[in-house]
Amino acid sequence: MPLDRPYPCGYTADMSDMYSPPDSPLEVIHEDHEILIVNKPAGLLSVPGKGPLLADCLMSRILAAYPQALLVHRLDRDTSGIMVFALTPHAQRHLGLQFEKRYTKKTYIARVSGRLEPKKGKVDLPLIVDWPNRPKQMVDHENGKPAQTDWNVLRASDTESRVRLMPRTGRTHQLRVHMLALGHPILGDPFYADGPAREYDRLMLHSEELRLRHPDGGEGKRFYVKAPF
């Protein structure tokens, strides 16, 4: 089951004093007999962290309304947008295989620092956890795991660019580290941005679109939630 790497939500228990999850209602985008699609708000853990101060998360809120719900994948705490949950064991297995085999297609919207040029490109840089500074990740050409991200500039000014990001792999903090490697950190990133680029009220990264095959019959489905920034 592709539930990502250690600390996939981006925070560890020793950061519990910084955790103040948003008090927003569960936003369901789609529901049927097999799957549940929701819009995760920024600042909310996907799954609980260690200790009672990190217990509030999207999974716990979903279980309160859908006790049969099962986890399929995760988003970082600071990232907003589309997540899919399974409502049956069959759906969890089916969706898990799709994520593992990279049959799903995910698209993100981000605002990054500076003018990103050229208009489109690909980042192919292997990543590994930066153990002394975990949960941060870093580029490591010798020991890192393969990570690829396609990007496309939607519009740009001298101070920032709005980009569409299409990860081909699903490494922890992949989009955040790849944008940093290009010299254009995502605005509001508490880990990888510095100075004015860090001084935003949230991470400017949103999971906008998810394409998958429905577990019941294999029909292609597209789910979309516009970025709130």
Q: Annotated active-site positions, please?
A: 76
Query: 183 to each of 30, 84, 113, 160, how far by Cα in Å?
Result: 37, 32, 8, 12
33 contact partners, CB below 8 Å, separation of at least 6: 87, 88, 216
Quote the radius of gyration of the chain (alpha carbons, Å). 17
Measure the CA–CA gap between 132 and 136, rounded to whole angstroms: 9
Q: Which of 206, 212, 222 is nearest to 96 (CA)?
A: 212
Measure the CA–CA gap between 152 and 146, rounded to whole angstroms: 20
Which strand (E) or helix (H) includes residue 94?
A: helix 89-100
Measure the CA–CA gap between 75 and 39, rounded to whole angstroms: 11
